[in-house]
Amino acid sequence: MKLMEEVKHKWKIHNSDVVYENAWIKVVHDDVTTPSGTPGVYGRVLFKNKAIGIIPIDEDGNTWLVGQYRYPLQEYSWEIPMGGGPHDEALLDSAKRELKEETGIEAKKWTKLMKIHTSNCVTDEVGFIYLAEGLSFGETAFDETEDLTIKKLPFSEAYQMVLDGQITDSVSVAGILFMAKEMVV
């Protein structure tokens, strides 16, 4: 079995054009030669931020979810607190900022749980998930695009929401399942 570092990609890019760009993403169209040697095209969505998700857990085993209407899906979504961290900002600084903005919570203890790729067939988005403990509570500071509902609940209920399909966001699902394994819910 080859190690990931030993695998060389066989894609050849002949031309790349930026077809759309905004503050969050860049969409690129590539003219390529595929690994089998045939001509092809590939579209890529390149993210300008890292996805940062946080699972706050208090001493009683409660957590907090954030509910919001997700415009691309045209539906309401329950998620762990999360947001974008600029590539030039330290991961932990991004996590602390996002948790405070969305929930008003600050934490004394931080543990990085995992790194994930959200949809690696079309995007370079990478996500990082943190556990926040030793919580204190203050005021939120929502971004102008956010209209959030904050929900405190036992972690076991958040886990059940994943199992019941009520939480479908990939960063939230990955983080909650990881924590459930650690906590043996």
Write the class of the CATH domain 49-183: alpha beta
**Mean pLDDT on 140-163:** 90
Say yes or no to pLDDT of 183 above 90: no
Beta-carbon contacts of residue 169 (< 8 Å; ≥ 6 apart): 77, 78, 79, 80, 82
**Mean pLDDT on 57-78:** 95
Quick one: tokens of 122?
A: 């079309």
pTM of the shown model: 0.89
| Cα 78 to chain centroid, rounded | 13
Say yes or no to pLDDT of 1 above 80: no
Domain residue ranges in the chain: 4-47, 49-183
Map tokens 């998620």 to a residue. 79
